[in-house]
Amino acid sequence: MKTVGPATGSAAPVRLTSYARGGGCACKIPPGELEAMVAGLLSPPSPGQALGGDEDRLLVGIDDGDDAAVVRTGDGTAVVSTADFFTPVVDDARDWGRIAAANALSDVYAMGGRPLVGLNLLGWPRDVLPAELAGEVLAGALDVARAAGCLVGGGHSIDSPEPLYGMAVTGLVDPDRLLRNDAGRPGVPLTLTKPLGVGILNNRHKRTGEVFAHAVAVMAALNDKASAAALEAGAVCATDVTGFGLLGHLHKLARASRVTAVVDAAAVPVLDGARESLRAGYVSGGTRRNLDWVRPHLDAGRAGEDQLQLLADAQTSGGLLVAGEIPGHPVIGELVPAVACTTLVIR
């Protein structure tokens, strides 16, 4: 947390998380509301609205809520494009930039792609917070983009009531080696490449000021190696775990793939301190909304409410959820033939 004072000249430390109602990917519009918003965009065009064959170039669009759009270029490659931004998830400005950049880049990795260039997306309450802090956010993001081999080429900024930051990222992907969320098949194991619990720890950080360095390290870590390992293992189905939680993103994957996902709750990795923080009540509204959304499709077995909230915890810059076994990462369940009205089973 920086000790630079706000624009008024105060010397008090600036807690960025206090300037936002939510934090990180927990501030996403709830998944049920979002699906209702875009429902009218999912229908195929009528004959009079045909795009002259161009629609065939859109390999991945909005239909199944995948992580990024993919467009075939015609020369044996495809462009992958995404955008992601959110309010502060931590108080340290440079760490927030690092986390937000890693989170935006993750959507490209989740599709099996390689990021080429990112554009900054910045909203800043310029009469409330000093410009120097915004510079720290941008510098942190640049550090992570450089580590990913991704160029950063400007972007767009606005004066906004809350601080917002993220990136629009463009990359390349082999159209014959895509990772997508509708390609899951029964009999395939499920692998998770980062532990859960950052949403709970971030909520505790926002409310108390306690810093959880291990959570920051997990969020700022790139998913590049996990993506490469998934492709090497022959995986064709994956997503990343962010604001809708493990259960929310797995529900979307299972629904799109027309299968049921079985989760071995005991095998799911969890960050140190997350369970204790959950029991102490540090659960975000986003996590509760995630769980409410999947309940109608969930066979919870013997799982208690605390366990379900952890599995639904709204992650920021979480790991990849891969249909396939990835060396060095835990298998947390499997895909099985579809069970009527049930996409998720906890055992």
- Has 25 been annotated as catalytic? yes
Q: Which two tokens stand for residue 153?
A: 């080429």
Element (H, E) at 164: strand 164-173
Of 229, 145, 166, nearest to 192 by C-alpha is 229
Question: Residues 6 or more apart from 320 whose CB is under 8 A from it?
Answer: 106, 109, 110, 191, 192, 193, 194, 223, 226, 227, 230, 238, 239, 240, 241
- b/e map of 74-83 (b: 16 or more CB within 10 Å)? eeeebbbbbb
Of 85, 315, 319, 306, nearest to 202 by C-alpha is 315
161, burial (CB in 10 Å: exposed 0-12, middle 13-18, buried 19+): exposed
Q: Which two tokens stand for residue 225?
A: 């190696």
Alpha carbon distances (Å) from 219 to 97, 160, 251, 255: 11, 25, 22, 27
Which of 25, 27, 150, 237 is flagged as catalytic? Answer: 25
Q: Residue 169: how many CA atoms within 13 Å on its side-chain side?
A: 34
Q: Which two tokens stand for residue 289?
A: 């909304």
What is the C-alpha to C-alpha distance for residues 189 and 186, in angstroms, rounded to an integer? 9
Question: Residues 6 or more apart from 276 whose CB is under 8 A from it?
Answer: none
Question: Known catalytic residues?
Answer: 25
